[in-house]
Each structure stands twice: as structure tokens, then as C-alpha cells.
Amino acid sequence: MSVKQRDAVQRHLFFSSQGKRILGALHTPGGPARPGALVFLHGWAGYRIGPHQMFIKAARLAAERGFVCLRFDFRGRGDSEGDAADTTLSTMIQDAQAAVELVCAETGVERVALVGDCSGSEVAIGAGPLDERIDSLVLWSAPIVGGDRSGADAAKRRSIYRTYLAKLFRRETWTRLFAGRLQPKMILRALTRGGKGAGEDGAEEDREIDWYRRFVDFDGEVLFIYGGNDPTTPSALEHYRRASREAERDLHVHVVEGANHAFYSLGWESEVIGASVDWLADRYPSPDGERNE
């Protein structure tokens, strides 16, 4: 049973990363804070609220349970400075490092957990071993890093093709087409790119990173959360099982049965948020000595 603190506070602030101004939202608990802060890392095409506002909901719940939380926009995203075309996973890692510096300076915490969604999980893995204060990663729908993605990509493409084929036989699809409410360019991009957004293949500087070694060398603990109906889940879990064995680290996994890649239902997102905060509460006991209150 969770015990919520009262009067958690949220305020917006700016900090700098590579000379650009980054906008963040800092949540602070109304009572004694836990010894670890949470930094949320959004996906490639997202911003600080997370997918269907899941970061807002997660940060508010975590703050009620005693966590300092920081949500922020990567450079070139949301309300942060920078050109979106210049954004790479490498620049996102730099921004994550700056966010860790900011939250530690602002609050005095010395332990940090990174909570990443999709591409944000890649950023978390890339940033994890670069700062000893980062000792936990919570990864939602983490893509394969440092391994062969061909199987996962093929499964994702097949799922997209099946989805659009099913839509082809629905009356509402044709109604929207004749009403001019479909977006053919977006559909074509999804079909030809297999669901990947622009830039997700990685820039040259991203390919220079030894991603597998970053994951293996991370000294903390990692929680993976996947949707049971995400076509990439089996390949990703097999990859991270092998990598975790090499790292001599326990594999912590929570699979949300029936959920898709984005956990797009209230029940699924509630399970993701609850599992994440419960696991983190065990990692960072509250000042009164209780762990998962």
C-alpha cells in the first residue's frame, strides 16, 4: 500500500547544455525526499510530457512518494533551444548528463535514476556509465542497442503491414479517405520506413559509440518494461538477457500483458507507472527506513 506525501511542488526552470538553453520541469516532494532523484528521458519524436502524458503522471506519483523528479526537453525538441535537424542520440546523451548535473546541484541528491521511453532508453543506456551518480535505469520499450535489430525491425514491419491491411477493409477508413481526413504521406512513410521516424537510424557520431559495452559496463540495476503485444519484445528481451549475463547483472523485467509499444490505454499506462515507481521505491528507501511504502 502506497503512502503519499502531500503538497508536492512543480516548477519550471532552465539549464544549459552545450551552450543551448534547456527547459525542464522539476517536481519536489512536500516532505522528506528519498536519496535518489528521477530524470525522465523522452523518445525521439516526443518532449517532456512523455507519451500521452505518462511522464507527467509518473513524476507526480513519484513526487507524492518522496522522489525529486526532473522532466525536460532535449535540444531541438519542445521548448528547448536548438535545431531539431541537429539532434542525435549523442546530443541527447549530452543533455541527459547536463540534466543529472542540474538535479544534483538543485537538490543535493547524490544518486540518480534515468527513466527512458523508447529512444530515451537508448539515451539512458548511453549515459548510464558516464556518471557514477547514475545507479538505476528504468527502460520502457527499449530498442536493441549494441546488437542485431534485423529481427525486431522485421517483426515491427510485419505488424505495421497487418495493421494497415486490416484498416483497408474498414468502412471508416474509406469514409475518412473521401472526406480528405487521411494523411497519405504519413501512411507511406510508415510503410516504407517500417515505423521508424526520421533520424532514428542514428547519426555517424552515434555509430561510433560502443553501445553494447555501455550497457555491460553500467554498474547499477536496470528494469525493463515491455508490452506483451509489442512485436519487438521477444527479440529485445533475448538480447538483453544475453547482455545482462555478460554484465553479471540480474535481469529485471515487467511485461504488461496485451500492451502495445506505447502502452496506449489507461490500464496499461497505470501498470507501467506503478511498476516503475514501486521498483524505484525499493531501490531508494525513504528516510524513515521503509522501502516500498
Residue 226 forms beta bridges with which residues?
A: 255
CATH number of the domain within which 255 lies: 3.40.50.1820
Q: State the total domains in the chain.
A: 1
d(CA 243, CA 247): 6
pTM reported for the whole predicted model: 0.84
Cα distance between residue 117 and residue 44, in whole Å: 9
* Contact between 25 and 12 (Cβ < 8 Å): yes
User: Residue 220 corresponds to which cell in the numbers above?
Assistant: 547499477
Q: For 42-62, how does the pLDDT look when each residue is reduced to its tens digit (9 = 90+)?
A: 999 899 999 999 999 999 999
Domain range for 86: 9-149+209-283
User: What is the bridge-based pairing of β-strands 221-227 and 252-256?
Assistant: parallel
Residue 163 falls inside a structural domain: no
Task: Compute the Cα dihedral for 277, 123, 239, 256 and give only its sign.
Answer: positive
Task: For residue 17, give the 3-state DSSP assignment.
Answer: strand
* 79 within a domain of the structure (yes/no): yes
User: Residue 3 falls within a domain, yes or no?
Assistant: no
Would residue 203 count as lying in a domain? no
In a domain, 37, yes or no: yes
- Residue 95 reports pLDDT greater than 60: yes
What's the pLDDT at 196?
A: 47
61: amino acid identity, one letter: L
- Dump pLDDT digits (tens) for 5-40: 557 899 999 999 999 999 999 999 999 999 999 999
The model's confidence at residue 167, banded by pLDDT at 50, 70 and 90, is low
- Specify if 56 maps to a domain: yes
Mean per-residue pLDDT, 194-216: 77
User: What grid cell was written down for 108?
Assistant: 543535493
Rounded distance between C-alpha atoms, residue 20 and residue 273, angstroms: 31
Average of per-residue pLDDT across 205-219? 95
In a domain, 105, yes or no: yes
d(CA 149, CA 119): 14
